[in-house]
Structure 1
Amino acid sequence: MIRHAKQSDLPNILEIYNDAILNTTAVYTYKPQTLASRETWFENKLNKQEPVLVYDERGEAIAFATYGTFRDWPAYQYSIEHSIYVNKHHRGKGIASQLLAEIIQTARNNGYRTLVAGIDATNDYSIYLHKKI
């Protein structure tokens, strides 16, 4: 089930994100985040009214998706950059596809017309996911 993230989801979101930092090319930083930094990130998302959606399986957030400002120039006011991360033990189940569909619909509902995904050339999962739409 897809739902809006809660504060209590942040430890799982942190675990998923840090795994992406350490073991993939999906995130262009090399230093794992702290729970405090994820709490600040989440608060900023809420303040900017940028969604953080989670895929909930039996009460546990096993994936998340979000979007934010693409570029802070007036011509990009209808453009956002989105991100999707899935727990490594739950990949290949169609969860990312469901989150992508939901984040696209959420963006449309909020008046956005262009979604951008920054994908590393070696991130085969993300390339495949985005080619399907």
Structure 2
Amino acid sequence: MIRFANLDDASAIAEIYNDAVRTTTAIWNDETVTVQNRADWIASKQTDGWPLFVMEDEQGAVAGYATYGPWRAWDGYRHTVEHSVYVQKDNRGQGIGKALMQALISKAKQTDIHVMVAGIEAGNEASIRLHEKLGFNRAGTLHEVGTKFGRWLDLTFLELNLGE
């Protein structure tokens, strides 16, 4: 079941986020977050009117989450968003990311969003393939623009034109 996140989801979202920080190059942060940090983030998403979806597993636990928000701060970019999608480590590869992305894309199409942007670590072929299956096109790669785990990382951008 996919639904809008609420403050009760802060702990599960923090757990998923922190696992990605500690073990993957999906999030280029070195520091984990607190449950309060995620609660504040959820509240901010709600206040600002940005969608934040969670997907529950059969037991009702949060198995993943997805959201989008401003791509860049200037007015001319107001119809472009950048999204994030993360799946709990034991639930990866089961279609949860795809389902959450489909919900995000559907929501964006109901608004005045024209383009959705994905910034993905260039070595994350599974995520890149998922995005391409959903209609995203590769827009280019920036080389060695980030670092994590003692190595330089490349960032591949993909775009989905929602007006097509």
Q: Same fold by TM-score, threshold 0.5 exceeded?
A: yes
TM-score (structure 2 length as normaliser): 0.78
Give the match's secondary structure for 1:119. Answer: strand
SS for the counterpart of 1:59 is: coil
User: In structure 2, what residue type is equivalent to 1:126?
Assistant: S
Aligned Cα RMSD in Å?
Answer: 0.9
Aligned length: 133
Aligned to 1:62: 63
Q: How does 1:101-120 map to 2 (within 5 A)?
A: 101-120=102-121
CA contact (8 A) 1:24 1:123 kept: no
Q: Gapped runs of 5+ residues in structure 2?
A: 135-164
Amino acid paired to 1:30: D
Give structure 1 stretches of 5+ with no counterpart.
none
For 2:27, the aligned partner's letter is: V
Counterpart of 2:24, as a letter, is T
Distance 1:7 1:75 in 2: 32
Q: Tell me what 2:81 maps to.
A: 80
1:29-59 Cα distance to aligned partner (Å, 9 max, x none):
1101111111111111111011110011222
Give identity over the alignment, percent: 40
More strand by share: 2
Question: Is contact 2:22–2:32 with CA below 8 Å preserved after alignment?
Answer: yes
TM-score for the superposition, normalised by structure 1: 0.96
Larger Rg: 2
Provide the rounded CA distance (Å) in 1 between the counterparts of 2:123 and 2:31: 20
Which residue of 2 is the match for residue 11 of structure 1?
11
Matches of 2:99 and 2:81, distance apart in 1: 18
Partner deviation per Cα, 1:76-95 (whole Å, 9 max, x = no partner): 11000000000010011111
- Higher fraction of helix: 1
Aligned to 1:90: 91
Q: Distance in 2 between matches of 1:71 and 1:34?
A: 26
Q: Which has the higher contact order (CA 8 A, sep 6+)?
A: 1
Deviations 1:57-76 (A, max 9, x none): 22211100000100111221
2:6 partner letter = K
3-state SS of 2:121 partner: coil
* Structure 1 residue matching 2:85: 3-state secondary structure: strand
